Amino acid sequence: MSSENTSQPRADNIPLAVTAIVLAVLALPLGDALIKGANTGFAISQIFILRSALVVPVFVAIIMMRNPKALRLPKRLGWATLRGFFMTIMWVFYYLSLPHLELSAAAAAYYTCPIFITLFSAMLLGNKIKAVGWIAVIVGFLGVLLILRPKADDFNWYALFPIVSAVLYALAMIATRAKMRDEHPLILAMSLHVSFIITGAAIMALGVVWPSDATQGSSLFASWGVMGTTQWGVMAILGVALLIGSIGAVVGYQNGPPSLVGTFDFAYVGFAVMWGILLLGETPDPVSIVGMLMITGAGIMAMRQ
């Protein structure tokens, strides 16, 4: 087995990587918009446990149909566990921010993650960043500042939570690229959902010690909302969205350089605006739109480096 780990990694498949990540960032903000919706009332632990409980059996069924022998623990269990930890804490911070920010603003702040991926690729993987890449990093951060406007009267500290999520996501994707390229993507994605269930159970246990009066997911330890037909339908959509998103992220970063795949991650911002308009009635103001265009332009520049 050691000879397999030291063999030359398989070649990149750029079209597959790009397609996978675009599908992922189309599906994920749909779930975010539903979670932010006023009538869901889901606690974070409720989302983590129920959504992943619906998704894990789907993963098991798909793996059993395609390759039953692949149904096993990840080969690099420690790295997969660390990746799952980064990703679950990432979602905790992001979901805590949603009740306090417009979806487009949260998405734009979160989507400093491709910038962090580019930087971490250079720092941790030795990938070189050309001049246009550094310009993209600067333009991207300026775009985020336009959206968040930290000196504005309506700025709130919850706007920093998506940036913390961005750092954690970038670290998780760098670990995927550097240490888990040979892991089965379905096993790696399923391990994330196991991490969601464990983290959700831990949050529930802490909620018993530190109960919250909150009735919705604005508090980490909020009580569970009532599950009716509508709520179960929303939870099923959340499961499908994360199923597509988690598999797409793994496939994308296993098959393409993080700095390239990360630029296509910027499409998340545009899709978040779209879902925010369609489902939440949110319309970004002109300054925010300029910031989003700057972020998109930064992604295009980084893609050219």
Q: How sure is the predictor about 7, in pLDDT bands with cuts at 50, 70 and 90?
A: very low
Q: Span 8-28, mean pLDDT?
A: 83
Whether 48 shows a pLDDT value over 60: the answer reads yes
What's residue 142's pLDDT?
A: 86
pLDDT at 1: 35
Percent of the chain at pLDDT > 90 equals 9
Q: Which position has the higher pLDDT, 303 or 284?
A: 284
User: Residue 210 pLDDT > 80, yes or no?
Assistant: no
Least confident of 12-16, 67-71, 237-241, 296-300: 296-300
Checking if the pLDDT of 299 tops 70, the result is no
Whole-angstrom distance, CA of residue 108 vs CA of residue 272 = 9
Query: How far is CA 84 from each of CA 25, 126, 138, 286, rounded to the nearest angstrom?
Result: 18, 24, 30, 37
9: pLDDT strictly greater than 60:
no
Report pLDDT for 155. 62
Going 156 to 143 to 247 to 121, the CA torsion angle's sign is negative
Q: For residues 294 and 137, is the Cβ–Cβ distance under 8 A?
A: no
- Which tokens sit at 116? 């962090």
